[in-house]
Chains A and B, each alone.
Chain A
C-alpha cells in the first residue's frame, strides 16, 4: 500500500473538513456568463453531485477546477489551502483527478502506456511500465477495477475505457475525483458497476464529485447535491433531505410538468412497417439486431433507451444515411411500399421524396450547416424542390421568402434570415430545423433528441408542434434518452436495448420502473418493485443482462 501511504503524506492540512471549496468563482466567454459567483463546498470522503440542465455551467466549473480555464474572479481552496490552478499539472499535483465525458485516451496505446503517459518516472519507459503494472494490479484488487494492462484501448468496451480513465487518476494519486456525465455512454450494467466502484473509492476516503443531469443517479449515490442553473449555483442540499421533484424544480427554475396536453390518439393505417432490421457497422459491431415495429398514421411511437443502444443507427438508417461501410438487412415499408435499403434509392434525398421528414439527433453537425445563413438552411435537404428553383438556378428570393414565413410560424428569434445558423441559440437553431421538417407536412417524421440543449420555452413549443403533426394524421417516431419526454409525448413506447426492441408499452399503463428494467435489458416484467416514480437507476443486472435472477 505504498501508494495509499503517500496519498496522505504529501498533502497539507488533512484536518480541514472540505476537500474542495470554491468562493465566488466567475467565468465569462465573451458575452456569455458561464459561471457567476459560484460557491461550492465538498466535504471530504463524500460523493457530491452537481446537477443542472445542459449548458447550466457544470462542465465549465469543473474545467476551472482542473486548470483548463482560468476563472475571471474567485478563490479555490483544496483541503483548506488556497490554490491557483493554472494548468492541469497543478490540479494533478493538488490531488485532483478528472474523468471527462469524452475520454482522453490514446486509442492505439496499451492500457499501461495510457496510464503512465505524463506520469512517467524518468526518461526511459521500462521502469515506469514495470511500476505501473504493479500498482495497477493493486488498484484492481482494491476497487474492482479490472482491465488487461496490455490490451490497446480500441479493443476495450466503453465501460472498460472509463475504468482506465479512473485508473489514470488513481495512479496519479488523486484523492478528489471528478466525473463528468459518466453514465451517458454506459449500459445500465456498466453504470451499476461504476457506482459500486465509486462506493468503494468513497469507503477508502476519496472525495468524488459527480456531474450529471440525471436525477435518479443523484438520488441513488450522492451524499449531498448542488444545483446549477444558468451559470449560477442555486442550491446545495443533503440528498436525504430532498426529492427528485424539488431538484427538478430547482434545475429549471419553476415547477416542471412536462405533460403535454393532447387528445387521445386516433390511429389510422400503418405508415411505417419495420421488419427485422439489422445493421453491422464498419468495425463489425452489430448495432441493430433485428428491430421490428409499426407506426400508424396519427400516432407517436416513442423509443426509449440509454444512449448508444442503436437509436442513432436506427434513425440514420430510416433517414437514408447509415454510417459508411455499414451492412444492412431487413425491410422497411412506407405507406405499403417497400423502401430501398441498400441500393441507389436508399439515400436521404429519396427518403424525403417518399415523405419522411427528419429532425436529426445532432442538429449542429447534421441538421444545419452552421456557416450558412438561416434562409439557406431552410432549404437544406429540400434544395431540389421545384418551388426553390427556377430552371438551372436556385430561386434564392423564393427560399428567402419561405424562410421568413417559417421563422415567423415557429417564432425563431432573432427573426433575421440572413444570420448564420451558428449565431442562433440552441433552441432557435432547433426551431429552424423543426420548422423546415414539419412544414413540409411529411407522412412520417423522425425526431431524435428534439430537446437536447434546448431551453424550456422552446421545448414546450416543439412538443406542441409534434403533437399537432400527429393530430393532423401523420406518423411520428420519437427517439429520446429523456424518459419524461418519451412518456409525455408518446402514444406507444418501445424500449431499445443493445440493438433490440425489448418490449412495447402504453405510457399510461406502465411505470418508469418497468421501463427502466426494459432499458436495462431485462425482458422479464415481474419486477414491480419501483413504483414510486423514480426508476431504479440500475436494475441489478450483471454481465448477462438477459438472464433473470
Chain B
C-alpha cells in the first residue's frame, strides 16, 4: 500500500465520517439532555430527501440545506411531542420516526418526481461544491505534507469543515456555557433543574431542536454533498452507526470525532477492499461493515472501559416531591 493510496483511503474516510459525525453530535445533544434518540436514521433520511428535492427544484444547495433542516426538525418535533410533552416511550418514538421517514420519503418522492423514489440527479448549483483551500494547488508537490494538505485537508465541501468545527464548538457549549451546564444537568437529574426554577421541558426541546438541525446537516450532506441526489433508503444504517459511535464516544464531543473517524475509516477500507488480504486471513467486507456494531457491543458490555449513559436518559420527567 503506497502513500497515495493511504491518502486516498483517509480522504474517503473523511467524506464518509462526516454524516456520522454530524448525526453523532445530534445524538449527543439529545441524549445529554436525557432524551434517547434512536431516530437519527430517520431524521437524516428525511433531511436527505427534503434537501435533495428543494435543491433540485430551486437549483440552490443552500436552500436545499434549509429544507433538509426543516425536514429533520419536523421529525424532531414529533419526537419531542411524544417523549417530552406526552411522556411516552422515547425508544418506541424513535422507531416510529425511522419508519415514518422511510415511508414518507419514498411516498413523496414517487409522487413528486415519479422516479421510483429517487430525486433527479442534482447538477452543479444544487450540490455543494468542493472547497479548495488557499495554496492547495501550489503546495501539491511538496513531499508528504503537500498531498496531505491538498488532497486530504483541502477539497471537501463546506459541510465537512462545518462538521469538524462543530466538535470544539460542541465541547465549548457543553462545558463552558450556562446552556451546557443546564443541558448536562437535565440529562443527569431533571429534578435538580426543575427545583432551580428552570424549565425541563424547554431545555429538552432545545436539545432536540439542536439534534434536528444537526441531523438536517447530515442528511443534506449525504444527498447534496456526498452524492448528487436522493436515493431510497440512502442513509443505509448510518444513523445507527452514529448511535453506535455516540456510545463508543461515551457521549463526549472529542471522542465522537475519533469514533466516527474510526467507523468512517472502516467503511472506506471495506469499500476499497471487498476482500482485505492480511496475509494469513482474508477479511471479507461484510466483517468490516459489521465491525462498528461489534465494537459497540463490546464497549456496551463494559469489557473495555464502561460506557455510562446520562443517568436520566430514557426517562420522561415527572414532577414529584
Contacts and interface: CB of A to CB of B under 8 A. Distances in A.
B34 to A, nearest CB: 12
Interface string A92-129: 10000010110011111100011011111011111010
Nearest to A99: B195
Contact of B197 (A92, A107, A124, A180): A92
B189 A118 contact: no
Nearest to A126: B176
B179 interface: yes
Contact of A106 (B176, B178, B189, B319): B189
Interface in A62-119: 63, 66, 68, 87-92, 98, 100-101, 104-109, 113-114, 116-119
A87 B194 CA distance: 9
B197 A89 contact: yes
B181 A120 contact: yes
Given A106-B188, A108-B188, A117-B185, A125 B196 contact: no
7 contacts: A100-B321, A107-B189, A109-B184, A120-B181, A125-B176, A125-B177, A125-B181
Contacts of A90: 197
Contact of B178 (A68, A88, A91, A120): A120
Given A88-B194, A109-B188, A117-B181, 6 more contacts: A109-B185, A118-B182, A123-B177, A123-B179, A124-B176, A128-B178
Interface in B219-243: none
Interface in A423-459: none
Contact of B181 (A89, A101, A107, A113): A113
Contacts of A126: 176
Contacts of A106: 184-185, 188-189, 192
A118 B179 CA distance: 10
A107 B311 contact: yes
A59 interface: yes
B193 interface: yes
B192 A114 contact: yes
A120 to B, nearest CB: 4
A107 B191 CA distance: 12
Contacts of A168: 196
B196 A59 contact: no
Contacts of A60: 321
The interface centre, meaning the residue of B179, B193, B194, B321 with most chain A CB atoms within 10 A of its CB, is B321
Given A117-B185, A118-B182, A98 B195 contact: yes
B321 A63 contact: yes
B177 A100 contact: no
Interface of B: 175-182, 184-185, 188-189, 191-198, 311, 319, 321
The interface centre, meaning the residue of A90, A92, A113, A117 with most chain B CB atoms within 10 A of its CB, is A117
Nearest to B319: A68
Interface of A: 59-60, 63, 66, 68, 87-92, 98, 100-101, 104-109, 113-114, 116-120, 122-126, 128, 168, 180
Contacts of A108: 188, 311
Contacts of A116: 181
Contacts of B197: 87-92, 118
B177 A124 contact: yes
A377 to B, nearest CB: 24
Closest 3 CB pairs of A and B: A118-B196, A89-B197, A88-B197
B192 A105 contact: yes
Contacts of B189: 104-107
B176 A118 contact: no
A88 B68 CA distance: 38
B321 A117 contact: no
B302 to A, nearest CB: 13
Contacts of B184: 106, 109
A213 to B, nearest CB: 15
Contact of A125 (B178, B188, B198, B319): B178
A117 B188 contact: no
A124 B180 CA distance: 9
A125 B180 CA distance: 9
B169 to A, nearest CB: 14
A100 B195 contact: yes
Given A123-B178, A125-B176, A118 B198 contact: yes
Contact of A104 (B178, B182, B191): B191
A100 B181 CA distance: 22
Contacts of B176: 124-126
B195 A88 contact: yes
Contacts of B321: 59-60, 63, 68, 100-101, 180
B313 to A, nearest CB: 13
B321 to A, nearest CB: 5
A168 B191 CA distance: 14
Nearest to A93: B197
